Structure 1
Amino acid sequence: MDFSVPGSTADFRRELSATLSSPETRHLLNEVHRRADGMDGDVRDLYRHLGRAGILAPSWPIGHGGRGGDHTETVVLLEELIRHGVPQSLYYISVQIVGSLILQSGTADQKRDLLPRLASGDLTACILFTEPEHGSDLASVTTRAEREKDGPGWVLNGRKTYNLKSAYADIGLCAVRTDEGHSRYEGITLFVVPMDAPGVSVRGLASLADEQFHDIHLTDVRVGPEAVFGDPGGGWSLITRMFAAERSGLDYYVRARHWLELAAAGLAEQGPPTDDELVGLARHRARLDASRLLACRAMQNLAEDRPDISHASLAKWHCSETAQAISWWSLEALGSPVVDPDAAAVGPALEVAYREAPGMTISGGASEVLLDIITGARLLDDVETGSR
C-alpha cells in the first residue's frame, strides 16, 4: 500500500473548506436541516451547488465529470463533508457506490449519460437489493423481470425494502431475477430503474436513526433494453464487484472520526479529562488510525482497478465496529449532555450518533457476514500457499 499523500490533496482540502464554509453553502445546509419535506431533509439542491463547484467526484476521470485526482481526495472530501455538517448518505450511495460501479463496468453509453450527471449532483441514485424475507442473502432475490410481449424491453414486479434515500433518488440500481439458472447465483440481472417510472411506489419506514428507510413496490414497471446493467443473468459478479466500493468503510470511518472529536470537545468543556477518559480517547484514536488505513487500502484497490472483496469486508467491519464503539463510549464518558436536548451543540450531535450506531454493523453487510468472508478468504490463501 502506498502511504504517500500528494500535495494536491492538501490543496483540495483547502478548496473544500472554502466551498463548504461559503454563505450559499451554509444557507442551503440550513434549508436541509429545516426538514420542510417532513422526512430527513432534501439535500439535492445543496448537492447541485457542490456539484457546480466540481468537488463531488474528485478521483473520477475528467471526461466523466471528475477531476482526475488521487483517491485520497475522496477521503478528505468525506472528512470535510462530515466536519461541516453536510449529510453524506445520498452522495455516498450515488457517487461512491453506484457511480463507481458504472465507472468500472458500465457501457460507454451508460458512462456518458450517467456519470457526468452524478458528478454534478443533477442525478441521484439508490440501491434496490434488499427484500423483506432475505436481508443480507442477496442471492435469494424474488423480484422478477420478464421480457415484454410486445417490445424489446422488460417488465419488473416485486418488492424491495430497507432502502436508504430512495425518496430522493432519480434512479435505482435494482437486482432482479430474470431466469432460474443452475444455481441461485445465476439468473440475477441488474437494472437501472427510473424512480419516477409508472408502477414504482415508495413508502417511508420509521427508523431509530434520523435517516429514513423506504419500502418500494414495483408493479408492472416497464423499462427499455438500455436499462439492463451488464449482461442479462450476469448480475451476481457485478454485485460482488460493487461490494468492494460499498464496503470500503470510508463513510463509517469519517463519522466515527467526527464523533470522537465531538466527544473530546465535550470532555474538555467538563474540565480536565480523567486518566480513564484519556486512555479511552487514545484507544479510540488508535482504532481510527487503523480504520483510515484500511479504508484507504480499499479505495486504492478500486483506483487501481483491482477490487478485493476480502480487503473491503475487513475495512467495513473494522470501521463500522469502531464507529459503533465510539458512539457508545461517548455516552458513557459524557453522560447526560449526550441525551439532554438543552445541552451544548456537542450533545444533540452525539445523541444522533447513539441512535444511528446500532444499524452500522448491520447495513452494508452485517459484521457476521463480513467476518465469514474474511475468514473464507484467509483459508483460501492458506490453501493456495500451502500454509497450515
Structure 2
Amino acid sequence: MEFDIPRETADFAAEVDEVLNSPETARLLAAVRAREDGLDGDVRELYRHLGSAGILAPSWPAEYGGRDADFTATVALLEKLVARGIPQNLYCISVLNVGSLILASGSEQQRKTLLPAMAAAQRIACILFTEPGNGSDLAGITTSATRDGDGWVINGRKTYNLKSAYADLALCAVRTDPNSSQYEGITLFLVPLDAPGVTIRPLPSLADEHFNDIWFTDVRVDDDALFGTTGEGWSLITQMFAAERTGLDYYARGRHWLDLAAERLTAPGGQPSDTALAGLARHRIRIEASKLLSCQVLQNLQEGNADIAESSFAKWHCSETAQRIAWWALDTLGPGVLEPGTDAGARTLEAALREAPGMTISGGASEVMLDIVSSARVFGTGNGED
C-alpha cells in the first residue's frame, strides 16, 4: 500500500475547506439542522451547492462529473464533511455506493446520463435491498418484477432504508425468476421513485436519521431501467458490497467523535485520569488502523483488485471501532454530554451514542462480515492468499 498523499489531494482538500467554510454552506447547513421537513433534515439543497463546486465525486473520471483524482481525495472529502457536521449518508449511498456501481458496471448510456447529474447532486440515488423478512439474507427477497409487454411491473415492499424520501431513483433488487435458485433469480433495476405506485413512509429511528418503508404496487418501468442483465443481480450486489464496505464513513465518524472527546478530556484546567488517557491512546491506535484498512480497500478498488473479504474486514473493524468510541466517550466524559442546551460538540457526541448501536448492523452485520472473512480464509474464496 502506498502511503504518500499526492499534492493534488492536498490542493483538493484546501479547496474543500474553502467551500465548506463559505457563508452559503453555513446557511444551508443551518437549514438542514432546523429540520423544517419534520424528518431528519432535507440535505439536497446543501449537496447541490457542494456539487456545483465540483467536489462530490473527485475520484470519478472527468467525463462523468469527477476530477480523475486519486482515492485519497475521497478520503479527505469525507473526513471534512463529517468534521464540518454535514450529514454524509446521502452522499455515501448515492455517490460512493450506487454511483460507483454504475461507473463500474452500468451501460455507457447509464453512465453518461446518470453520473454527471449524481456528481452534481441534481439526481440522488438510494438502495432498496432490505425487506421486512430479509435483512442480512438478501437472497431471500420476494419483491418481484414480471414481464409485461416491453416493460416490467414491480410489486413488493422494502424497508429500513435510509434517505429514500430524498432520492430520485433507487437501485432495487427484485426477483424476476421465481423458479430458479435464490441467487440466479435476482435482478437489479434503477427505479424512478416518482413513478405511479411507489409509496414512501418514514420510520422513526433512535438515531437522527429516519428509515423509510417503501411499497411498490404495480409499478411499471421500461427496459432502460434494467441494470445489467436479468438474473445477474446477485453478482452485481456482491460487487457493490466491495465498494459499500470500505468502512470509510464509519472511520470518518469515529475519528470525529474521538477528536471531540479528546478536546474535552484534555482541555486546559482538566485532570484526566491515567485510565482515561490510556483509553484515548487505545482508540487513537484503533482509528488509525481503521483508516489504513479503509484506504487499502479503496486503493485496491481503484486498481481493479476488489476483494469482498478484505472489504468485509474493513467494514467490521471501522464500524466496531466507531461504536466503541461513542460508548467510551460517554463512559469517560460522563452523562453531561446528554444534557440539553450544551455546545455543538456535546450534541454530536450525544447523537453518536444513539447512532452507535446500528453501526454494526447497517451495511452488513458484524457477524456476517466475520463469517465472510473466515470463509475466505478457510476456503480461499477471497482474491488474496489463504
> CA shift at 1:187, angstroms?
1.0
Whole-angstrom distance in 2 between the partners of 1:122 and 1:84: 22
Q: 2:300 matched to which residue of 1?
A: 301
Distance 1:305 1:266, change over 3 A: same
Task: Check whether the contact 2:176–2:186 (CA below 8 A) recurs between aligned residues.
Answer: yes
Q: Which residue of 1 aligns with 2:313?
A: 314
8 A Cα contact 2:307 2:382, kept in partner? no
From 224, 227, 250, the counterpart of 1:226: 224
1:105 matched residue in structure 2: 105
2:167 maps to 169
Letter of the 1:178 partner, please give it. Answer: T
Q: Which ranges in structure 1 are unaligned for 5 or more consecutive residues?
A: none
Residue 285 in 1 paired to residue 284 in 2? Answer: yes
Name the CA shift for 1:128/1:385 in 2 (closer, same or farther; >3 Å). closer
The answer (yes or no) to whether the contact 1:145–1:154 under 8 Å persists in 2 is yes
Deviations 1:102-153 (A, max 9, x none): 00000000000000000011010110000001111000010000011xx311
Identify if the C-alpha distance between structure 1 residues 61 and 386 changes in structure 2 by more than 3 Å, giving closer, same or farther. Answer: closer
Match of 1:258 among 256, 259, 264: 256
Deviation by residue 1:201-259 (Cα, 9 ceiling, x = unmatched)? 00000110010000000000000000000011110000000001110000000000000
Instruction: Trace 1:326-341 onto structure 2 (pairs within 5 A).
Output: 326-341=325-340
Partner of 1:49: 49
Q: In the aligned structure 1, how far is the partner of 2:87 from the partner of 2:320? A: 21
Which letter maps to 2:296? R
Q: Normalising by structure 2, what TM-score? A: 0.97
Letter in 2 for 1:200: V
CA distance in structure 1 between the aligned counterparts of 2:163 and 2:381, rounded to whole angstroms: 41
**Paired residues of 2:94 and 2:118 also in contact (CA < 8 A):** yes
Does 27-36 or 176-185 show the bigger shift?
176-185
Alpha-carbon distance in 2 for matches of 1:279, 1:181? 57
Q: Which residue of 1 aligns with 2:5?
A: 5
Aligned residues: 385
Amino acid across the alignment from 1:164:
L
2:27 and 2:14 map into 1 onto residues whose CA distance is 20
Give 3-state SS (helix, strand or coil) of 1:157's partner: strand
Letter of the 1:276 counterpart: T
For 1:367, the aligned partner's letter is S
Gap change, CA 1:221 and 1:50, over 3 Å in 2: same
Cα pair 1:125 1:169 within 8 Å, conserved: yes
Cα shift readout 1:51-96 (whole Å, capped 9, x = no counterpart): 1100000000000000000000000000000111111100110000
Amino acid in structure 2 at the alignment position of 1:157: N
- Whether the 8 Å CA contact 1:324–1:357 is kept in 2: the answer is yes
Once residues 239 and 94 of structure 1 are traced to their aligned partners in structure 2, the CA distance between those partners, rounded to angstroms, is: 15
Greater shift in the superposed pair: 33-42 or 172-181 = 172-181
Q: Does 1:369 align with 2:368?
A: yes
Q: Is the 1:93–1:126 Cα contact (8 Å) retained in structure 2?
A: yes
Is contact 1:9–1:72 with CA below 8 Å preserved after alignment? yes
**What is the CA–CA distance in structure 2 between the aligned matches of 1:385 and 1:313, rounded to whole Å?**
13
SS in 1 for 2:288: helix
The alpha-carbon deviation at position 302 of structure 1 amounts to: 1.3
> In structure 1, what is the equivalent of residue 182 of structure 2?
184
The reply on whether 1:216 has 2:214 as its aligned counterpart is yes
Q: For residues 306 and 178 of structure 1, what CA distance do their matches in structure 2 show?
A: 30
2:198 corresponding residue in structure 1: 200
Identical aligned residues as a percent: 62
When normalised by structure 1's length, the TM-score is 0.97
Alpha carbons of structure 1 residues 255 and 386: separation in structure 2 relative to 1, 3 Å: closer
Tell me what 2:121 maps to. Answer: 121
SS of the counterpart of 2:380?
helix
Moved over 6 A (4+): 382-387
Partner Cα distance (1:27, 1:382) in 2: 49
Could you list the runs of 5+ residues in structure 2 that have no partner in the other structure?
none
Check if 1:146 corresponds to 2:146.
yes
